[in-house]
Amino acid sequence: MKDIVEIAVGDGRFTTLVAAVKAANLVETLKGKGPFTVFAPTDDAFKKLPAGTVEGLLKDIPTLKNILLFHVVAGKVMSGDVVKLKSANTVLGKPVAITVTNGKVSVNNANVVITDIEASNGVIHVIDSVLLPPKS
Yes or no: say if 15 and 83 are a contact pair by the CB < 8 Å rule. Answer: no
Give the alpha-carbon dihedral of 48, 54, 37, 24, to 10 degrees.
180
Confidence class of residue 117 from pLDDT cuts 50, 70 and 90? very high
C-alpha separations of 128 from 35, 61, 118 in Å: 23, 23, 19
Its pTM stands at 0.96
How far is residue 71's CA from residue 91's CA, in Å, rounded to a whole number? 8
Examine the pLDDT at 49 and tell me if it is beyond 70.
yes
Confidence class of residue 135 from pLDDT cuts 50, 70 and 90? confident
CATH of 4-127, one of 3.90.180.10, 2.30.180.10, 2.30.40.10, 3.90.1300.10: 2.30.180.10
Question: What angle do helix axes 15-23 and 61-69 make, rounded to 10 degrees?
Answer: 120
Mean pLDDT within 108-133: 97
How far is residue 60's CA from residue 84's CA, in Å, rounded to a whole number? 35
Q: What is the pLDDT of residue 101?
A: 93
The residues that bridge with 72 in the sheet, in sequence order, are 38
How far is residue 69's CA from residue 47's CA, in Å, rounded to a whole number? 19
Q: What is the pLDDT of residue 103?
A: 87
Q: What is the pLDDT of residues 66-92, one digit of tens each?
A: 999 999 999 999 999 999 999 999 999
Q: What is the pLDDT of residue 111?
A: 97
Which amino acid does the sequence have at 8?
A
Average pLDDT over all residues of the chain = 96
